[in-house]
Copies of this chain bind each other. A is one copy, B any other.
Amino acid sequence: MKLADVPTPALVVDRRALDHNIATMSDALPGPRLRPHVKAFKSTALARELADAGHRTFCCATIREVEGMAAAGLGEDLLLANEVLDCTRLGRIVDAGVARVTVAVDSPETVDAAAAGGVREVVVDVDVGLPRCGRDPADAADLAARARRRGLDVRGVMGYEGHLMRVPADEKPARVEAAMRVLLDAHAAVGGELISAGGTGTYAVNRWATEIQAGSYVLMDTEYVPHAPAFRCALGLWTTVISVSRKGWAVLDGGLKALSMDHGDPTVTEVGDCWFVSDEHTTVRTRPDRPVRVGERVRVLPAHVDPTVAQHERLYVVDGDEVTDIWPVDLRGW
């Protein structure tokens, strides 16, 4: 199949950029030093590429992601790096013996849910400065004790310094160190072998975590590039020009239902600039010096990969003009 024959709108993955990104990260963080986050691409086929590159421990953000990874035979060590109040489905996976499942806990309620649902291993999620999930560090030891009383194995701690992914490069090392000092103190109180943290924006400077939870680096997006310049944008939305106005605009057949807008407009370079995005359309201001033809194909770069991928059923992997693989986005939903 040729790229020109891919029906639009469709997500296309540039094989060479993908290979560059995987190799670059594997060089920096080989094997279990990286725990790739599948939420960024939601595809077991792509996760298998990372396993082939030596990373066989994975992070998930949803129960569905854990179930899908387990069913795909990629369940050697799955960390659900998120809080869950009903762990029944996770417990079923553990009981079936098809995957090792660890879940994050940050409250008595989530500890009790893990125990009640049949999960046997947890990490204590620690607040390291991002206002989201995470236990107050001063209370981490108590929570670990509660988990152990409930019969859970506490594998260590995690703490996501998500608020530091986009700070200026000259401030980043010191601020990440300060956040990780909080996590290391909590770890000293909690115990266990895991200190899990980090992401694509901090992987290069986070020297304190035993493993980094990066995912965005695999496909990358326009918004993240300034904060992780070692990686290339590997994901594009492949569209068709369906209408051209002589008043100076053209319309692409991909819109809000194919592109997540929370990090801003997509980048259109070939035929003009993004003007606005509607449900099924992107209107592009055209340039007088660049004639645009109805039926022309245009690649658009999304501003935020993770929720964009979640809007699609499949990824077309492309090497030049050739489609080499079609990967189902099989980890969508919850």
Contacts and interface: CB of A to CB of B under 8 A. Distances in A.
A273 to B, nearest CB: 13
Among A279, A306, A311, the one with the most B-chain Cβ atoms within 10 Å of its Cβ is: A279
Interface stretch (A174-182, A224-232, A238-246, A318-326): A238-246
B7 A109 contact: no
Nearest to A297: B85
A106 interface: yes
A294 B242 contact: no
Given A279-B39, A310-B311, A110 B256 contact: no
Contacts of A106: 243
Among A83, A127, A275, the one with the most B-chain Cβ atoms within 10 Å of its Cβ is: A83
Contacts of A311: 310-311
B131 A280 contact: no
A83 to B, nearest CB: 4
A295 B106 CA distance: 13
Interface string A124-157: 0001000111101000000000000000000000
A269 interface: no
Interface string A300-320: 000010110011110000000
A262 interface: yes
A102 interface: no
Contacts of A262: 256, 261-262, 277
B132 A85 contact: no
A290 interface: no
A275 B133 CA distance: 14
Interface string A92-123: 00000000000000110110000000000000
Contact of A279 (B61, B261, B277, B313): B61
Contact of A244 (B107, B257, B260, B281): B107
Contacts of A190: none
Given A280-B39, A306-B256, A311-B310, A243 B133 contact: yes
A330 to B, nearest CB: 13
A148 to B, nearest CB: 20
B333 A136 contact: no
B7 A131 contact: no
A31 B141 CA distance: 65
A278 B279 CA distance: 21
9 contacts: A83-B242, A83-B253, A85-B294, A106-B243, A109-B295, A132-B251, A133-B251, A136-B245, A310-B311
